[in-house]
């Protein structure tokens, strides 16, 4: 280490015009955790509405997949009804995978994740807020679109509430599981394929129970059991996924 | 209030088979500025990232107020702001929105403080424009506004004067001067020397 810099030459530093309260460091004004999480959520929502293309892409994909089946297979309603749960859920799973790539990518590039990690707030909560935003922007719209897709597959209107519920709850689990995969693949270029490879096996229980719930909703059976299993997966995801994703994000920043 | 102090004890950092930091030691007391110089690839950025806890050193410690920061990273992070060589801004938000989210996640501030900070860096006329339409120098100024807005004792700055015009470079100097005069500390990795008029300007030279 070397000594002090040379004394003042030329450049004049103006006398600091500081307000009186400025000498107090912000430690005392630390934003409450919930405010910070709400800001992180609001930021993602606002950004998503500024970049609508990215928002619409997975939804358009879901609509196309589910609407191509009746055209490709047959207009026979009984047959379509039979494959409807599989089509709906495979479509929803792939659409949510498609959206996952964007979950952390931009934030990793522009240094937002770094700032979150250094914010003095719980990174786990901020990541959770991001995942909630992600669900609001993909999972929820998918659940709202599911009835349309179901109707195009010849499903009766009576099944609509059950289908919406199963997609809504199942997509919560999908977003949370996906957040771990997205965080783990952060440091990797062209991570899309690896992300699917990591996330798909973990998502299979959601696919199985979701399709089962949808099937029962269509046939009018009791769909409480698979719905509860989906909810259990979602709760497990809420408690564990943000922790794992935050740890993975931290590693990616190193 | 003026008992903040940063001590860095013989940091060793390896990246793959490169020994990037070889026993870096320094300490920084209230009102001091240390500029880290050295050729490209000498580990200036790595030093800053290790000090703020993003990178794990193989050996050595970072002490904040005498305590190892690893034992309580959260408290340490509340006391610092780190500005990397790219301003952490969203291209699709305006300058003002960016600041509101970026600094708002950290701590509370009033609307007036936000306007003051924008005014201070000369960003008021274009603070409603989306960051994607701003020049690199203007983005840097927005990042500086974030610095002015975050009232924390320790600033870690990576090339704070990049892309700035002469007036902007003086702005960096005066912001640092204000930070020091209120008892803060600045650790800056620089290529261009910071304005020499700053009191307590020390230099740490990293070898290639």
**Nearest CA-CA partner of B147 in B183, B91, B106:** B106
| Beta bridge pairs of residue A30 | B107
Tokens 């949510």 belong to residue: A96
Q: What pairs with residue A4 in β-bridges?
A: B202
- What is residue A3's predicted lDDT score, i.e. its pLDDT? 37
Phi-psi region of B194 (alpha: psi -120 to 50; beta: other; left: phi over 0): beta
Distance separating alpha carbons of residues A237 and A244, to the nearest angstrom: 10
- Distance (Å) from the C-alpha of residue B68 to the closest C-alpha of chain A? 16
What's the whole-number mean pLDDT along residues A117-121? 94
The residues spanned by each domain of chain A are 32-253
- Selected residue with higher pLDDT from B196 and B16: B16
Task: Please tell me which residue of chain B has the smallest CA distance to A38.
Answer: B105
pLDDT exceeds cutoff 80 at B178: yes
Tokens 């900070």 correspond to what residue? B117
CA dihedral A152→A153→A159→A165, nearest 10 degrees, is -80
- Select the residue of A13, A36, A111 nearest B173 (Cβ to Cβ): A13
Q: Does A90 touch chain B (CB under 8 A)?
A: no
More confident position, A19 or B68: B68
Instruction: With beta carbons under 8 A apart, name residues in chain A contacting B202.
Output: 1-5
In this predicted structure, what is the pLDDT of residue B16? 87
Residue A142 and residue A62 in contact, taking contact as beta carbons nearer than 8 Å = yes
Query: Chain B 110-149, CB below 8 Å of chain A: which residues?
Result: none
B32 in helix, strand or coil? coil
Phi-psi region of A220 (alpha: psi -120 to 50; beta: other; left: phi over 0): left
Q: Shortest CB distance from B151 goes to which of A22, A120, A122?
A: A22
Q: Domains in chain B and their CATH numbers? A: 1-79+154-163+183-208 (3.40.50.300), 86-151 (no CATH)
Give the list of residues 6+ apart from residue A27 with CB closer than 8 angstroms, or none: B78, B79, B152
pLDDT band at residue A126, thresholds of 50, 70 and 90? very high
pLDDT of residue A27: 59
Distance from the A81 Cα atom to the nearest Cα atom in chain B, whole angstroms: 43
Contact yes or no for B106 and A31 at CB 8 A? yes
Share of chain B above pLDDT 70, in %: 96
**pLDDT tens profile B43-99:** 999 999 999 999 999 999 999 999 999 999 999 999 999 999 889 999 999 999 999
Q: Is the pLDDT reported for residue A23 higher than 60?
A: no
Residues 125-154 in A contacting B (C-alpha not used; CB under 8 Å): 126
Task: Check residue B91 and report its DSSP letter.
Answer: T
DSSP of A83-131: HHHHHHHHHHHHHHHHHHTTTTHHHHHTTHHHHHHTSSS-HHHHHHHHH
Q: Does B182 touch chain A (CB under 8 A)?
A: yes
Residue A12, pLDDT score: 41
pLDDT tens digit sequence for A214-227: 999 999 999 999 99
Q: Which two tokens stand for residue A30?
A: 């630390």
ipTM of the complex: 0.93
A31-50: average pLDDT: 94
- Mean of the pLDDT values across residues A121-138? 96
Residues in chain A: 254
**Residue B7 in this model has a pLDDT that exceeds 50:** yes
The distance of A96 to chain B (nearest Cα, Å) reads 23
Nearest to A36 by CA among B184, B174, B101: B101
- pLDDT of the residue at A7: 39
Separation in Å, CA B203 to CA A36, A93, B154, B164: 36, 55, 17, 22
A188 pLDDT higher than 90: no
Residue B208 pLDDT exceeds 80: no
């Amino acid at each position: 280490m070397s000594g002090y810099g040379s004394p003042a030459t030329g450049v004049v530093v103006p006398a600091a015009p500081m307000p009186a309260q400025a000498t107090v460091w912000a430690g005392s004004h630390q934003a409450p955790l919930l405010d910070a999480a709400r800001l992180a959520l609001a930021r993602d929502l606002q950004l998503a509405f500024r970049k609508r293309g990215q928002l619409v892409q997975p939804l358009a994909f879901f609509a196309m997949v589910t609407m191509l089946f009746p055209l490709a297979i047959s207009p026979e309603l009984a047959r379509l009804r039979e494959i409807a749960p599989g089509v709906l859920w495979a479509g929803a799973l792939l659409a949510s995978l498609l959206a996952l790539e964007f979950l952390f990518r931009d934030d990793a590039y522009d240094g937002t994740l770094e700032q979150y990690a250094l914010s003095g707030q719980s990174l786990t909560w901020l990541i959770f807020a991001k995942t909630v935003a992600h669900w609001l922007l993909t999972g929820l719209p998918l659940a709202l679109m599911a009835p349309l897709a179901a109707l195009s597959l010849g499903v009766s209107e009576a099944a609509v509430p059950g289908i919406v519920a199963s997609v809504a709850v199942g997509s919560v689990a999908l977003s949370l599981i996906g957040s771990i995969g997205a965080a783990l693949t952060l440091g990797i270029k062209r991570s899309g394929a690896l992300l699917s490879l990591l996330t798909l096996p973990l998502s299979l229980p959601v696919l199985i129970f979701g399709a089962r719930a949808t099937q029962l909703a269509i046939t009018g059976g009791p769909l409480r059991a698979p719905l509860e299993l989906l909810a259990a997966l979602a709760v497990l995801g809420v408690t564990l996924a943000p922790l794992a994703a935050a740890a993975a994000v931290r590693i990616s920043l190193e | 209030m003026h008992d903040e102090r940063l001590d860095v004890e013989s940091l060793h950092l390896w990246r793959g088979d490169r020994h990037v930091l070889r026993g870096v030691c320094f300490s920084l007391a209230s009102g001091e500025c240390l500029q880290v110089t050295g050729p490209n690839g000498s580990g200036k950025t790595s030093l800053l990232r290790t000090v703020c806890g993003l990178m794990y050193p193989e050996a050595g410690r970072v002490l904040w107020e005498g305590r190892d920061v690893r034992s309580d990273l959260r408290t340490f992070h509340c006391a610092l702001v780190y500005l990397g060589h790219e301003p952490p801004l969203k291209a699709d938000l305006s300058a003002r929105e960016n600041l509101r989210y970026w600094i708002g996640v950290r701590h509370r501030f009033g609307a007036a403080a936000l306007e003051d900070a924008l005014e201070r860096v000369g960003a008021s006329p274009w603070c409603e424009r989306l960051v994607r339409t701003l020049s690199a120098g203007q983005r840097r100024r927005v990042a500086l506004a974030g610095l002015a807005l975050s009232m924390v004792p320790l600033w870690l700055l990576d090339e704070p004067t990049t892309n700035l015009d002469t007036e902007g470079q003086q702005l960096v100097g005066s912001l640092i001067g204000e930070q020091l005069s209120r008892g803060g500390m600045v650790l800056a990795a620089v290529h261009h020397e910071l304005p020499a008029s700053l009191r307590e300007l020390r230099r740490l030279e990293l070898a290639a």
